Each structure stands twice: as structure tokens, then as C-alpha cells.
Amino acid sequence: NALRYPAMSEGTWSIRISYGENDQYYGTSAETQVTVADGRYASTIVYKDGASITYNMDPAVMKQAILDSAIDWENSVLPGRDSVDTDDFTMEYYGTASSGSLVELGKNWVPIEGGTAALLKYPAMGAGEQQIRISFNGNTEYKPVSGVEGTLSVNKAKVSVKVSSANIFADEELPAGFVTTDPADDFDVYTLFVGATSDISSAVYLNLPERYTDNAFLKLLDPIVEAVTGKSFTQMLNDGVTVGELRELFSTQELLELMDKLNIDTGTFGQILKVINNMPSLVDSVRIAFGTPNRAGLYTVTAITDNVNYETGVGIGMVLVKMRASGVKLTWNQEIPGGKLTADQAKTFDFGVMLSYNGDVTISQSNVHFLYSGFTSSWRIYSSTTTPPTEPGSYIVTVVTLGGNYLAAPITRTFTITE
């Protein structure tokens, strides 16, 4: 039939022995009782109280650590320690499902490396207080034993964070591998850029992990942030925040509780604030932009990693955002014929200048500065950085780029305004 039956094991069994008929003998059968004994040693596992290991992204390493740390080998009845390895044992932990939702979906015994149980997916065992179950599979000398449970403390692992120094232009992305971790596990990386721009002003940028731009995440975050600051987190991403607003936000209990539910280590926020607080020039009114630097300058970079299975990691580096000079030039909007204008012409003349990069005039013009100087026809000194002259006289105008992302050679011209 289609039913499956196990092999005979220890115990007393009824057996039937049959002999098939042939041309010399009739067939026959006989039944009897037999007792099957397993002569192997009866195995026992004694779990070691207070057992602890350190998390490792490789489940095989954690299994080996469990074998070394969680079994009381002296009081257990098992083969010699040196004669067995993790393949001789089945190790499980009582895990929480992670698939399909942000909330817990169920609990089940699953392998240390995670897997699927009752159609739900479970991650590999992580850091924290875990309930584990160890079974010995048995061998030729020792019987199997199953279901020995105990509490295991899985400590957070340490991570080394490296920030490579980089030189880029303001319109370029940071190079691949700008921030690396050892081990190379999956981390949320918060990158803080603090420095001085090319126009000698303070600048702070905070580049957040990708999850902060996820719509589902923002729907959870926006109402709490808006209740605290008066504007949603989405608005903050677009408009930036001040140092003072960020300090207030990262110390809000409601936000910290939400982050904890989303498996975000709130200690990361403390590290960000620690970096900011160590910068004495960063008063509360300094504005923090979200993203990577888009203004030329020299920045100190602090990368802070977040993963629930690791201690918060911190790495420091530098990035120089360079001004472009090649292909950058200033061009007069209008030429002055013969270097002369009448007073009436001067009133409507376009004294402006266009800054371009390889012919692109859509780049920012905010770092273009003028200096008009000279004498009127009545020998009065004229000087202005904003308003061109319109009275008769002799003048010179110099245009330079100060700060910004584009450095052009200065241009100068002299002109005369007549009656």
C-alpha cells in the first residue's frame, strides 16, 4: 500500500518469517516475538547556564561557538569533543517571523541560519537573549538525543568603519566604496559632513540611509515629527533643519520609541549628536542639509553605522569638494561700443555678466561679484558692488567669482559715460 513505515527500532516486536514454496518444498511462515536492543551509549546533553556567544554574520561560526560555549561537555554523555563537529548536531532557535510586515507574524523553532516555517520566513539568529534547542544526531557508538533547551546571550558584534578620503567636484557622486565596513554586512550608514565652503561659511550635510525616503517609512515618521517640530519629516528632507531642531528631534521620546520598533538603533542618533556637539562653531542656528555636499569646500566626514546585531560603528575621513576652473568663464551680457555710453544709454544698458561652464549658462550665478569704481565728471569718487554708474564720468568694472562651485578668471573693462 501507499503508507510508509519506519524501520524497526529498540523494543519488542512481532515478526513473521516466511519461506516461499518451490518445486520441492511447500511454503511456510512462522511468527515470534523479538526484542531489539540498541547497544550504543545513551547520550545526554547538559546545557551550560549563562552561555553566551558573539553574533557573526556567518551562521556556521555561531553554530561552532554554541558547540564550544553552550554545552557542558564535562557532565554530558557524548562522544569525545574532538571527534564531533556541528554537522553531528541539530541547532535551532525560537525565532520571530520577519516576512510580510513590519510587525511580528509568529514564532517558531527554526535553524540558526533561519528559513521557512509554517509558510513564514525567519531570519538568521541575531543578537539578544535567545532561546535555543540542541539535539545530538547520534553515531555508531552514541544514541541520538533531542530537545535540550536553554537561554543563550548573543552579544552584539563589533564593526570597523573606514571612510576613504576623496576629491570630487560638486556635481559628482562620491566614489563607490567611500564608506566600507568590516565585516561587510548590511548596515544603515548615516554620513555627516561638517566643514567650510569655498566662500568661508559653515556647512553641515547629513546623508541618511535609503529607508528614510521609503513611502511606507515616511508615513510612520511624518506625523510624529510634525507633532514635535511643526513640520513633517518629508518637509525637513526638502528644506533642511537647523542644528537646534535636529537636537530636539533626536531627543524626542515618541520618535525614539518608533525607531526602536523599526529595529533602528537609537544609539546611532546619540553618536550623530555627539559629533555635532564636538564642533564648537556649530551653533543651533546653523542649517543642516540632507544629502551629500553640493557646495565646494573641505569637509570632515563621520560615517555612523546601524545594525541591530552590531555595536554602533564610527569612521572618520575627509572629502574635498573642488571648484571647477577648466571650461569656466565670465562673459559680458553686452559689449560697450568704443568703450563709451551716453547717460541715457547707461540707464538701460545691461551691465550684467554670465558665468558658464563648457557653454552651460544654467549653472548658479550666485558667486559672481561686481566692483564698480571711478570718478564722475564732477570728480566725485564712485564705488559700488551692486549698482552700475549712470552719471557722466570715467569708470572701471571688475567681475570676479568668490566661492561657489565654479572659479573663473576675473574680467575687467573701462568705460566712459558722456552727457
DSSP string spanning 149-166?
EEEEEEEPBP-EEEE--E
Name the grid cell of 160. 570597523
Task: Report pLDDT for 242.
Answer: 84
Contact between residue 273 and residue 250 where contact means Cβ atoms under 8 Å apart: yes
One-letter amino acid for residue 199 of the chain: D
Give the closest residue to 264 by CA, choosing from 314, 310, 205, 207: 310
For 260-312, the pLDDT digits (tens) are 777 777 777 777 777 777 665 566 778 888 899 999 999 999 999 999 999 99
Task: Report pLDDT for 279.
Answer: 64
- How many whole angstroms separate alpha carbon 376 and alpha carbon 393? 4
Contact between residue 411 and residue 353 where contact means Cβ atoms under 8 Å apart: yes
Side-chain half-sphere exposure of 184, counting CA atoms within 13 A: 3
- How many whole angstroms separate alpha carbon 206 and alpha carbon 246? 11
Name the grid cell of 164. 576613504
Question: Burial letters for 272-290: b for 16+ Cβ neighbours within 10 Å, e otherwise?
Answer: beebbeebeebeeebebbb
Cα 64 to Cα 55, 88, 298, 304, 317: the distances in Å are 12, 11, 47, 30, 36
Please report the DSSP string for 173-208 in residue order.
PPPTTSEEEES----EEEEEEEEEETTS-EEEEEEP
Contact between residue 150 and residue 47 where contact means Cβ atoms under 8 Å apart: yes
* Residues in the chain, pLDDT under 50: 100-102
Task: Report pLDDT for 101.
Answer: 42
Task: Report pLDDT for 282.
Answer: 60
Task: Report pLDDT for 134.
Answer: 97
Task: Report pLDDT for 102.
Answer: 47
For 72-90, the pLDDT digits (tens) are 999 999 999 999 999 999 9
- How many whole angstroms separate alpha carbon 151 and alpha carbon 149? 7
Q: Where are the beta strands (DSSP E) in 174-306?
A: 179-182, 188-197, 202-207, 241-242, 287-290, 297-306
